[in-house]
Amino acid sequence: MSVAASSAFLPSGSHPIGVSSVPGQLSLNARLRYTPRTRLLPSLVAELGYLKHSDGKPITYMYEPAAGIKRQNCEFELVSMPIMDARHLAPQPKIDVAGFELWEAPTEVVDFRNDKEVSSKYYSEASALVKASTGASTVIVFDHQVRQREAGRPLLSFGRAGDGSKPGAVGRVHVDYSEETGQKRLNLVLQDQRLAESIERFAIVNVWRSIKGPILDTPLAVCDARSLGAGDLVAGEIRYQSRNGELYLVRHSNRHRWYYYSAMHRNEALVFKQYDSLINSVSRFTPHAAFDHPEATEATPLRESIEVRCLAIFD
């Protein structure tokens, strides 16, 4: 149907020049002329690993469990989702709104595989970055992880096969902390119950970047925290040999809006929120997952990245 033909069949009461008579609603003419900005963003389609089903609370063992116990009691499904290149968003996403933001953040670290250099140099850089990004008054970096994807290794894992010595990219949609473990992390980092009780607001924030060239293989996708529904997050247990952890797995919804930053280079850092103790008005959980870039070939350099986890405390 042509534009002229379609405009001849407007619903009764519609204005013929594209102004709706109902406030907040666009007429058919206006919809033809104006397209929401997000539809114009460069995007790709890739598969993301969502939780499909579990027998009770999802449990995943990160080691070979005793005979008769399944390595996991849950199933995942790969769902093709549009992932938009957030570089083209205007205005740019903000961490307290969408749950993530990108910073130009040059680093003085030479070798990210040198733990001493990372903890002596990069931790203070990351701390300053998270302060600038979130407005927190105190930031304590408590963990870091260097990841290198191995050729041919399936993505659908939590990135720590076997003894956890060779972490790869994480292909399942998840949030690093749940409501419960987010709260517990405050005490674990501070090791001071009274001090922890005196803190009114804190957040757990990740800083993620390439440690080599631009990220072209298995980039990181982040889900706009505003597109989450109440039933989308499912607490799942991760069992290690020496401890148990809990994170959120995510059920699929077509409402989820996914973004990535194309070809992130070594001097850029993605800052995104895993948990916020504030319940109202801010993003709280940011689901994320690595995905296979549809344009990556066998010649594409495999992704090498580092993430640090930070406790951000607000006055």
Residue numbers of the site for Fe ion (CB under 5 A)? 176
**Cβ 203 to Fe ion, closest distance in Å?**
15
Pull the structure tokens for residue 123.
């931790």
**Cβ 207 to Fe ion, closest distance in Å?**
12
- 122 secondary structure, DSSP code: I
Closer to Fe ion by Cβ: residue 27 or 305: 305
Q: Are 310 and 142 in contact (CB under 8 A)?
A: yes
- 159 secondary structure, DSSP code: S
Closer to Fe ion by Cβ: residue 101 or 176: 176
Residues 113, 16: Cα–Cα separation, whole Å: 64
Closer to Fe ion by Cβ: residue 14 or 290: 290
Nearest to 61 by CA among 73, 49, 77, 76: 73
**Cβ 247 to Fe ion, closest distance in Å?**
8
**Cβ 219 to Fe ion, closest distance in Å?**
14
Helix (H) or strand (E) holding 247: strand 244-250
Residues 236, 218: Cα–Cα separation, whole Å: 24
Closer to Fe ion by Cβ: residue 93 or 159: 159
Query: How many residues are recorded in the chain?
Result: 315
**Cβ 256 to Fe ion, closest distance in Å?**
16
Closer to Fe ion by Cβ: residue 18 or 167: 167
Residues 209, 103: Cα–Cα separation, whole Å: 10
